[in-house]
Structure 1
C-alpha cells in the first residue's frame, strides 16, 4: 500500500500516518489524500468545512460518495482500507461516477451557453445604442434607456431560463419508462462555499432510486426537471418518495443514467415567471410613460442635480423601508417558532475575502454548525439568528462568538415549522438599523427638495 499526500508518497503507511494526514487536511491543507494498491485506489479531498469527499477507483470504474463524510468517518475508512478490511464500504455510500455518451446533454442545473450569451447581450445592449446615429435614437428609442436598464436583462434572463426548461421537458416527453424502487429518502446538508462571504448550509431532499434498463441496473438521484433546492419543499418531497416505494422512472434511451421521476413542468414555475414578467412590464411601462414627465417636473422645480439626488435618496429610502417592514414581519413569526434539542457538531472560524474600496480584505466569520431532527429527518444549519445580516469581523471577534457554542454541547434549536431547514439558536431581532437608514434617506430627499426652505 502507498500513501500519497500532494506530491509526497510513502510506502506501507501506518494508522498514525493516515490520521496525521487527515488532521492536516482538516486544518487547512488542500492536498488530496490517496491510498493506492495495484490498480485500485481510495482518495479523500477536504471540502473546506471539516468534511471529505471520497472517491474509489478500480478496473471496473470510478465511484464517488453520495455526499461528503466527516473527518472521523474519513479516518476510519482510510485506516480500514489500508488494513485490507472490506467493511470500509459500509461507512459511506458510493455511486458510479456519472458518464454521458459523447455529444449527449444531461438534464442539469447549469444554464446552457446560449442562455448565458443572451443575458450578456442584453446587459451590454444599452451601451451599444450610443454607437447608433442620432437619427436612429430619436422617437421611441429615446425612452428605451431607463426601461431597459431596469427590466431588460432580468426579462431576457427569465425568458432564457424558462425556454431552457421547456426544451428539457419537450425532450423528456418522448423518453420511455421503467419501474423503479426508492432506495434512499432523507435530508442531505450541502455546504455551498463562496469566495466573498461565509459558507452556507443548505438542506435538500436526497432521493435515490434504482431501475433496470436494457438489462442493466442504474441508480438515479434527480427527482424532476425543475431544480429542487430544498426549503419548504423538502418535507413534501420526502413524503412523496419514501424508501421502498415503487416509482416510474423516465430515462433517456441513449443514456439511461440521465433520468428523472417527474418530467412535467414543475407546478407554479410558468405562473411565477409570467407574474414576474407582468410586474416588470408594468414597471417598465410606468417608467417609460411617466418617468420622463416626472423628471422634467422635478428638474424645473429643483434643478437637474438636486432632482437626481431627490430621486436616488427617495428611492433608496422606500426600498429600505420595505425591507424593514418585511424583516419585522418575519421576525415576529420567528418568535413563535417551536424548538427541539440539537448538538453543536462544528465550532470555529472561517476566512473569506471581501472587496473594500477596490482592495481585497480578509474577513472572518464564526462557524457554529449544529445538527437537529424534525419529523424524523436530520437537519444541519449554521444560522445563529434568523434574518441576521452577516458582517465580516476580526478573527478575535469571530472566535469570541464561536466560543459560546463549543463542539459537542447540546443546544435548543428554534425552527420554522413550514421549513424545518430554516433554524436558529437565538431569537430574532427586528433590523431597526434599516428603519434608521430609511429615515436618513427620506430626510435627505426632503432637504434637497427645498421644502424646508431655500438651500
Structure 2
C-alpha cells in the first residue's frame, strides 16, 4: 500500500512508502505546560455543584448525628437507672431474707468441703480491676431424720472478699469436717444458710442510678431544646 502522491521537483507525482510517513523518532518527548495564572475558579473545579452537594450532605449527616445525642443519653440513662433500681430492690429483698433467717431453727451441719475461688472484678466507683476471693462451703445436715446437703452461705447477692487474708479468716471458721450450726427454713428444710448477716450498702448502690438519672434528665432537656 502506498501513500497519496506528492509533487516532486519536476512537477511529477512522488510516492513514498507508508511506513516512512509513520516513522516517529523514539527519543522525542512532548511536554505540555499550562500557566495557572489568571485561571478562573470554574476552570480549576469544573463541577462546583458536586462539591457543594458533598458539603451539604456531610453537614446534614453531622447534624443528624449531633441531634441523636440526646436520645443516646436517654437510652443509656434508662438502662443505668433500671440496673441500679433492680440491684437495690434485689439487695433489700435479700437483706429481709437474712433478717428473717435469724428466726429460723438451727441444725448441726458437717462441713464437707471448704475452699476459696480466685476471681477478678471491676470497681463501679473507680473502674479499676482487682482480685476477688469467694469462699465456697458445702455442708450436710439432718432435719426430722431427713438428710440434706447445702452450699448456700448467705442470701447476699454478692459474697466475696477483696483480700486473701479476710477470705482465709472466713474459711478457717468452716474447716472441712467441722460441725457448725446452720439456719434452715422450717417450711422448706432443704433451704439453709450459714451466715444471716445482711449486706452493707456501698456508694455504688447510689452511684449507678444517680448517673442514669442525670443522663436521662440531660437527654430530655436536649430533646425539648432547653439545652
TM-score, structure 2 as length reference: 0.50
Q: Structure 1 regions of 5+ residues with no counterpart?
A: 1-298
**Cα-Cα RMSD:** 3.6
- Structure 1 residues 323 and 376: alpha-carbon distance in aligned structure 2, compared to 1, 3 A threshold: same
Q: What do residues 86-115 of structure 1 show as CA deviations (whole Å, max 9, x unaligned)?
A: xxxxxxxxxxxxxxxxxxxxxxxxxxxxxx
Which residue of the partner structure matches residue 152 of structure 2?
Answer: 383
Q: CA deviation at 1:394?
A: 5.8
Matched, 1:342 2:134: no
Where does residue 425 of structure 1 map in the other structure? 194
Return the alpha-carbon distance in structure 1 between the equivalents of residues 205 and 131 of structure 2.
Answer: 29
**2-structure distance, mates of 1:439, 1:407:** 39
Aligned to 2:180: 411
Rg bigger for which structure?
2
Cα deviation for residue 430 of structure 1 reads 4.0
Residue in 2 that maps onto 1:224? none
Deviations 1:269-320 (A, max 9, x none): xxxxxxxxxxxxxxxxxxxxxxxxxxxxxx89x8233222322222223322
Indicate whether 1:323 and 2:96 are aligned: no
Residue 439 of structure 1 deviates from its aligned partner by 2.6
SS at match of 1:305: helix
Q: In the TM superposition, what is the alpha-carbon distance from 1:362 to its structure 2 partner?
A: 8.7
Query: Is the 2:95–2:155 Cα contact (8 Å) retained in structure 1?
Result: no
1:12-45 Cα deviation digits (max 9, x unpaired): xxxxxxxxxxxxxxxxxxxxxxxxxxxxxxxxxx
SS at match of 2:190: strand
User: Which consecutive unaligned segments of at least 5 residues does structure 2 have?
Assistant: 1-66, 123-129
Is the contact made by 1:415 and 1:423 (CA closer than 8 Å) also made in structure 2?
yes
* Contact map agreement 1:316 1:438 (CA 8 A) in 2: no
CA separation in 1, counterparts of 2:185 and 2:78?
38
Q: Are residue 444 (structure 1) and residue 217 (structure 2) matched?
A: no
2:112 is equivalent to residue 368 of structure 1:
no
Q: Which has the higher contact order (CA 8 A, sep 6+)?
A: 2
Q: Which residue of 2 aligns with 1:306?
A: 73
Any residues of structure 2 matched to 1:149-298 within 5 Å, and which?
Answer: none
Q: How far off its partner does 1:379 sit?
A: 1.6
Q: Which residue of 1 aligns with 2:99?
A: 332
TM-score (norm 1): 0.28
Aligned to 1:283: none
Query: Contact 2:183/2:194 (CA < 8 Å) preserved in 1?
Result: yes
- Partner deviation per Cα, 1:210-248 (whole Å, 9 max, x = no partner): xxxxxxxxxxxxxxxxxxxxxxxxxxxxxxxxxxxxxxx
Shift of 1:345: 3.4
Shift of 1:414: 0.7
How far apart in 1 are the matches of 2:190 and 2:147?
9
